[in-house]
Amino acid sequence: MKYNDVNWQDRFEIKESSKENAGRGVFVKTNIKKGEHIGYYTGKVLNAKQIQREPYVSSSYLVQVTHNYFILGEGKGINFVSFINHCSKPNAELVVSNRWKTARIVALKKIKKGEEIYYNYSDEYWENIGKTPK
């Protein structure tokens, strides 16, 4: 797992989330500035027809990047960004490029060393997976 040709572990750490029952999360090892690029959401790019087949439909790691394209952030080709947890009061956001079919995480505010990174997964996400946010 890489972060822009630099070892991502120099800036980020995956460990037990500070949110109860959230599994692992991503914590910063160095201060992150507001507006700073954190990382791309990577994985297998799938079209709408492909996600209608199992096991993709029920995946909680599926991010929609255009009307017809999605990124499956689990399995081969993933990176640390897929470990970022949900929060209704996030310190980062998911920025989608329809043109390039990409998704990346950007800091909404300064994130201090030792803090966990969160972004809001959206109401649509929780509705699609049939769960209530924690």
Domain spans in the chain, listed from the N-terminal domain onward: 2-129
44-68 residue pLDDT tens: 888 888 888 767 666 778 888 888 8
Which residue is listed with tokens 């199992």?
54
112-132 residue pLDDT tens: 999 999 999 887 777 766 777
Asked if the model's pLDDT at residue 16 lies above 80, the reply is: yes
Residue 16: HSE in the Cβ half-sphere, 13 Å Cα cutoff? 2
Asked if the model's pLDDT at residue 87 lies above 80, the reply is: yes
Mean pLDDT across 75-81: 78
**With contact defined as beta carbons under 8 Å apart, do 12 and 3 qualify?**
yes
Name the average pLDDT for the chain.
Answer: 85
Nearest of 30, 26, 14, 17 to residue 113 by alpha carbon: 30
Residue 109 or 45, more confident: 109
Topology of domain 2-129, per CATH? Beta-clip-like (2.170.270)
The 10 Å CB-count burial string (b at 16+, else e) for 22-58 is: beebbbbeeebeeeeebbbbbbbebeeeebeeeebee
Two tokens at 72? 């499956």
